[in-house]
Structure 1
């Protein structure tokens, strides 16, 4: 019979790369781990991995069980965490996943009053997910997903919380700084700086440049907003960011927002939750506070 400890062993071997490390992580002897796997293989009638020198390679059956482990174990662990919190009289934990790099400043404005209203709820913020933001939400890695690009799936609910405009940000001495708007051709000789996100998820590409068959002269990626805007202020490139974020930085740095196209690019930030959790009081309160917060995008 397939048991939870079998899935835990497969996940740890995949994560750590060796039987020895997996056994140590699970507080087992290596012989006990090997015995458990051998018993599993006898029960299912198939090997879960093969040895290639010092390396282990998962078989097709092993890959299937590994995928199952990665889906189910986070749900078990989340359930245990919630039950532990209930038993200790705690309200719970709110794990927020971010698919919007520049949204941390906005999130801080929501989290601060939320922590005051819900002192017995722990808040954690995650940005890197094993299966992407939607997969993390469906797989119980996170409880709320902050995203500008919701993907509609059964069992998930998304609510818009604020509108904003995506703009081009340039240095105050840049030739485009005083332009009423820019066209895609204006970026042909520019270095475009962005967060390290796939191009097909960057609005400046999929809503502005690519429809016009244009590409910037060079594309660089930078993880932090501060460094990105320092580069823009120094004339090292241009970037596309929310107008509200550029307005905040323009008060302390020589950067300016310029509209992308004559109509601009309108966007929304959404919060996604699992429908089964939507009625949880402290989670519903976070969504309501985020939606009702005074914010000019």
Structure 2
């Protein structure tokens, strides 16, 4: 069976380029006898004549001409592939797959991703929200490289880095009777429609840290995918929402919104970036986390 090897293509290309065995041998770091032996071996392995002699010159046969075209097309791709693999190994190129367990964090992520891509022009970013096994499972199964989450689940082989602090606040519209209060209690919201992202209530801090400890629930929960629509609904008195204060401040120029503290002491939160410990040596991944955690205006 004929087996075509990359070394065959390289020899064919160099002999054709240099026009003599001596010159081609110098480029290939082979003596002329060694190169002559390699040429005979190529033809033997492939079972076809690649060259024919015309005087003292070697001329490509029809099969040789076709192999030369193949060599000119494939060898640069091999070289590029090797360069890319070296870059991957050095953490210089790749796709950073970011998983999101924090719906309102997309606006924050935009502030980080844009300058990061300028710093790493050979790295792409892919943002994913839905995972087959949840955010932690997605890290373990290599679906994602970084998990953005307000609720880290510490497991062996995973590392979580806090990147910024924020306060979770209640947001009400301009006609809401509670809008002038400094803080609200669970009892005051028992008759409200709570607008949330499409996340189970057991994963929402306003339930786990505000309503449930008081044994109280809102009258109704309404789930909405996008922040813009959620805040339009709040501004028009269709319900209330719990969001990071920095996000509410960002939308203050577009909607008339009133952020209220949840309870007298408020609810303090952090955003974490989780990664696999085995990825510590991937430079562009490590740099993203360091860049995201560096002081900047997150609100």
Normalised by the length of structure 2, the TM-score is: 0.70
Task: Report the Cα offset of residue 86 of structure 1.
Answer: 1.5
3-state SS, counterpart of residue 195 of structure 2 = strand
Unaligned runs of 5+ in 1: 1-81
Check whether the contact 2:108–2:298 (CA below 8 A) recurs between aligned residues: no
| Cα distance in 1, alignment partners of residues 109 and 257 from structure 2 | 23
3-state SS, counterpart of residue 101 of structure 1 = coil
Check whether the contact 1:160–1:268 (CA below 8 A) recurs between aligned residues: yes
| Cα distance in 1, alignment partners of residues 184 and 242 from structure 2 | 12
Q: Answer yes or no: is 1:267 the counterpart of 2:269.
A: yes
| Cα distance in 1, alignment partners of residues 84 and 133 from structure 2 | 26
Normalised by the length of structure 1, the TM-score is: 0.70
- Given the alignment, which residue of 191, 194, 199 partners 1:192? 194
Distance 1:235 1:278, change over 3 A: same
Q: Where does 1:6-85 land on structure 2 (aligned, <5 Å)?
A: 85=84
| Cα distance in 1, alignment partners of residues 269 and 163 from structure 2 | 11
3-state SS, counterpart of residue 129 of structure 1 = coil
Task: Report the Cα offset of residue 182 of structure 1.
Answer: 0.1
Task: Report the Cα offset of residue 113 of structure 1.
Answer: 0.6
Q: Which structure has the larger Rg over C-alpha atoms?
A: 2
| Cα distance in 2, alignment partners of residues 88 and 270 from structure 1 | 28
CA deviations 1:115-166 (Å, max 9, x no partner) are 0000000110000000000000110000000000000111000000000000
Q: Answer yes or no: is 1:219 the counterpart of 2:257.
A: no
Partner of 2:240: 238
Partner of 2:142: 140
Partner of 1:118: 120
| Cα distance in 2, alignment partners of residues 271 and 83 from structure 1 | 31
Q: Where does 1:84-123 land on structure 2 (aligned, <5 Å)?
A: 85-86=84-85, 91-123=93-125
Task: Report the Cα offset of residue 295 of structure 1.
Answer: 2.5
3-state SS, counterpart of residue 159 of structure 1 = strand
Distance 1:171 1:280, change over 3 A: same
Task: Report the Cα offset of residue 280 of structure 1.
Answer: 1.2
Q: Answer yes or no: is 1:172 the counterpart of 2:171.
A: no
Check whether the contact 2:195–2:240 (CA below 8 A) recurs between aligned residues: yes
- Give the alignment's Cα RMSD to 1 decimal: 1.7
Moved beyond 3 Å, runs of 4+: 82-85, 87-90
CA deviations 1:27-84 (Å, max 9, x no partner) are xxxxxxxxxxxxxxxxxxxxxxxxxxxxxxxxxxxxxxxxxxxxxxxxxxxxxxx999
Partner of 1:131: 133
Unaligned runs of 5+ in 2: 1-80
3-state SS, counterpart of residue 110 of structure 1 = helix
| Cα distance in 2, alignment partners of residues 116 and 127 from structure 1 | 24
